[in-house]
Amino acid sequence: MVVHHCFHLYNSTRKERINIRSLNGTTLLKQTCTRTFITSLVVIMLAFLPGFAQKAEAAPLLKSGSTGGDVWDLQYRLRTLDFYTQPLDGQYGPNTAAAVARFQKEYGLSPDGVAGPLTWRQLKKYTLNQPEMDIMARVIYSEARGEPYTGQVAVGAVVMNRIQSSEFPNNIRDVVFQPRAFTAVDDGQYWLTPNETAYRAALEAVKGWDPTYESLYYFNPDTATSAWIWTRPQVVKIGKHIFAH
């Protein structure tokens, strides 16, 4: 009987995870070009999914009287942090302006109630829109569905910490689909349908619950074979995962 064992190691110089497959005792190293091609193919496929393709990076200037999908997106982001509690109607009225002002004050911006470039920059750093929330839930479910609830939130927190870190891309799509960043993307489990618990954990992580204390990495000590990952300062163990800086 052919037995496959999969595990990971981290290149100590380039700080990247490399997949290793053991086939009946024979170790085979998957070629980086193959993994890169697969990940690139996944990203290309995602670009054709409804709601995934994003608008140009230039942030829209929204203020009282603005209407449309950008306002709906703004309201959704503000609602994830409990700044906006009214219906998502795509209308930039007094309630939306007040919610923007509260967000601005909380995050060190001038509370003028106008969603300009600086406000959008902070919003995209600390919130997700609806398609991005779907990505977060998929990552949590595929990476940590067997973990305790706190451990699922912790995986989401690592994703948010990476978005906010200068060491990683500044948006969830690029963080998640960064080559070799997440096992579930590499092996296809990312495409499993997340459950309600994963979405709740995603929302908790976006709202700021971080049981990892700003960790950027996590690993399973029972299966990790990387010398490099063990050099990372360990912060806390939740379920089967150790979280580290």
Q: Evaluate if pTM is beyond 0.85.
A: no
pLDDT, tens only, 8-36: 333 333 333 333 333 333 333 333 444 44
Task: Give dist(CA 24, CA 21) in Å, integer.
Answer: 10
Task: Give dist(CA 69, CA 208) in Å, integer.
Answer: 25
pLDDT, tens only, 165-187: 999 999 999 999 999 889 899 99
In this structure, the answer to whether residues 202 and 234 fall within a common structural domain is yes
In this structure, the answer to whether residues 143 and 213 fall within a common structural domain is yes
In this structure, the answer to whether residues 114 and 163 fall within a common structural domain is no
Task: Give dist(CA 11, CA 18) in Å, integer.
Answer: 7
* Residue 176, burial from CB neighbour count under 10 angstroms (0-12, 13-18, 19+): buried
Its domain, for residue 106, covers: 69-126
- Whether 24 maps to a domain, the answer reads yes
Q: What tokens does 2 get? A: 């052919």
pLDDT, tens only, 121-160: 999 999 999 999 999 999 999 999 999 999 999 999 999 9
- Number of structural domains found in the chain: 2
Contact call for residues 137 and 199 (beta carbons, < 8 A): yes
